[in-house]
Amino acid sequence: MTRQEFKQVVNDAIEQVTRMSETATGQTFPRSYCFSWLTGEEIVAEGDVAEFLVHLTFVDDTHISPCFDLFLERLRPDGRLHLRGYRAGFPPCAFGDHVTYRLQGHDAGRVGPFKLGMAHIIEQFNHETVA
């Protein structure tokens, strides 16, 4: 798989978690993103978040990190969708040779090495609806 083909996989993963979140909340979301690590608040990527994720996971045509947790966290006050993520420590391998265990909170499926979650953004909109 080429770098450009893999970037499309990354874009597909981001779009899938966004569309599933829209369906679950009944909202339409912008396609403007920022990214932070699962364990911190600092925004480490803005703009082309897909390119940032490619840089983190793509080594070469036959070596791609096989397991990356990617969560759509929330809609920020500035109008961007906040993605959070964590790259597991498995060694890079050929595309498709990935870990397939299921974890709670990965409720938006999987695209390539990306296990997708959307629980927090759903909670955000459920809380705003109740309040």
Task: Note if the pTM is more than 0.75.
Answer: yes
Bigger pLDDT: 128 or 32?
Answer: 32
Report the helix count and the strand count for the chain, using DSSP H and E: 3, 8
Domain boundary assignment for the chain: 3-130
Beta strands 33-37; 81-87: pairing state:
parallel
> What pLDDT is recorded for position 104?
52
Report yes or no: 54 and 113 within 8 Å, Cβ to Cβ. Answer: no
Residue 8 clears pLDDT 80, i.e. is over it:
yes
Q: In Å, what is the CA distance from 127 to each residue of 56, 66, 81?
A: 33, 34, 17
Return the closest-CA partner of residue 105 out of 33, 26, 17. 17
